[in-house]
Structure 1
């Protein structure tokens, strides 16, 4: 065999090895711990859902799934870390509504929307519209009608683009309410504002609102804003039931991955999360604190994200929610 032939064969062998490496890596995945980046502080709805998903995924995948809390900028700090991570199946984002709406509202973003791809829905904490316990409103319709008089009501939010902000603007745009969003740094601060009487109301995740409804009685609930009643508090009617069919929004948590992560890995993660959410013990634990487990396929979550992007985008434009 001459030198040219040996060189050609060697080159072909090298190319074959390189081509086979990604496939081999996928077959061996996961061969080390997987990281779930939570873009919010520990203890909130997003974090609790992440931990439930991580526990179930650890069992399903046979590798430890670690939680890393990286809060800041409405979830953008953690999302940016994942968007710029290697697409090797070892780093995922525990996403929330901000992964859809932040780019519509913020002046600038450190990454493009398509840098993150939807993988799986974990679950959601239905939002609950609440007012102080001594407020005179009996339900959401009563509250909205009262807001139309005079200067309207102040409505606490967890910042621009937060779920409570969208609740207020949907009621304003779709139903003629006069709610002035008042941005606070967090849901806990806006909750304190309602309890202290600084604002007329707010919308908060069920996991935060229910203790103040069921245990200390400091909140009066007016409606839940998801499509179904809360498992842990079924006596509270939905906004849809009260005549507000377009007020459907929740504090949800899902899994997103860096663009370019192999489909085979994404499908395995989606299946692991779905299995975790369908585990009776895990589901019961989440429902007890006001969280509804969802799960489902990767296609289901892609459909959900696309629908939310269209729906929330319309509200952002109509309410002029963009940062000045």
Structure 2
């Protein structure tokens, strides 16, 4: 009896594997949905649309962007986590997909229900102050904040937003004296800096570069590991002597757990090809976005490193949901 059950189980597994392999070989046979957990027009959305256009050409099927903003990426991520793992629903992921479970009291899905597929690209975060601020670089800004009796006001786009993590690194690693002022979005934060309601914030390069080039904002540092292609004059925080400040507004692709590996590999290859298309590269870089692409393995490694890095900031700052 036990041998019969074991045989039945093996036959069932073999049949399931064969069905999955067959589906992967013919995939895709219909349009693919890319769920973006942000509103249209932001860095994540723009990267998603570039990836969708390129992947559509590589896969021979429409790749449709579906914006589902809300709850700091949780709403869109939950939709994908609970979708059928058939290769027709993917999430355009961001740092929040990694960090939400670290700071929220409860989550409607488990992190392991989403698996990394591919990196799309990233928009380096830029630390900015009003255009007439007296600091010429990040070192001077941190020193001035320490001398201030009340510290400097730092705008964020809410708990666990990228500016919140940048602030956490500045305070816990380098002793900056900063007082958080949470806003509902990055655009509101930038408006607050433009109006000198707060001393500083950090925001995606694609958002702040027009203000920097017009002189309305002053850039103190790029918070990624490389200079921005569209603004190479700005040095990185690492170059300025702050090696722990490595953070960006990135976009990748995650899939529901259980999606066949062959489909994930095919999707990763399509996105990688899209991010290497000369027209796409030129378009994204001109806006301040760095196309990345790469393999599934490289994105799995990146997500693991991001989880460890952000987890360290959460622990050091005691960052919790509002």
Give the SS at the match of 1:270. helix
CA-to-partner distance for each residue in 1:267-321, whole Å, 9 max, x for gaps? Answer: 0010000000011110000000000000000000000000110111011011000
Flag the structure with larger Rg.
1
How far residue 56 of structure 1 moved from its aligned partner, in angstroms, is 0.5
CA-to-partner distance for each residue in 1:40-96, whole Å, 9 max, x for gaps? Answer: 000000000000000110011111100000000111100000000000000000000
CA-to-partner distance for each residue in 1:124-183, whole Å, 9 max, x for gaps? Answer: 000000000111111110001111121111100111000000000100000011111211
Alignment of 1:297-316 (within 5 A): 297-316=295-314
Give the SS at the match of 1:308. helix
Where do 5+ consecutive residues of structure 2 fail to align?
1-10
TM-score by length of 2: 0.94
Q: 1:204 to 1:23 in 2, by over 3 A?
A: same
Counterparts of 2:154 and 2:89, CA distance in 1: 37
Aligned residues: 312
Aligned to 2:4: none
How far residue 18 of structure 1 moved from its aligned partner, in angstroms, is 6.3
How far residue 323 of structure 1 moved from its aligned partner, in angstroms, is 2.3
Counterparts of 2:239 and 2:13, CA distance in 1: 62
CA-to-partner distance for each residue in 1:192-213, whole Å, 9 max, x for gaps? Answer: 1101111000001000000101
Counterparts of 2:254 and 2:14, CA distance in 1: 31
Counterparts of 1:175 and 1:82, CA distance in 2: 38
1:167 aligns with 2:156: no
Counterparts of 1:204 and 1:14, CA distance in 2: 51
Aligned to 1:121: 119
Match for 2:108 among 98, 104, 110? 110
Alpha carbon RMSD of aligned pairs, Å?
1.6
Aligned to 2:156: 157
CA-to-partner distance for each residue in 1:21-58, whole Å, 9 max, x for gaps? Answer: 33322211100000000000000000000000001100
Give the SS at the match of 2:140. helix
Counterparts of 1:18 and 1:143, CA distance in 2: 59
Counterparts of 2:87 and 2:216, CA distance in 1: 45
Give the SS at the match of 2:77. helix
Counterparts of 1:14 and 1:37, CA distance in 2: 33
Aligned to 1:8: none
Counterparts of 1:260 and 1:128, CA distance in 2: 37
Counterparts of 2:188 and 2:17, CA distance in 1: 53
Aligned to 2:175: 176
TM-score by length of 1: 0.94
Where do 5+ consecutive residues of structure 1 fail to align?
1-12
Alignment of 1:189-228 (within 5 A): 189-214=188-213, 216-228=214-226
Aligned to 2:285: 287
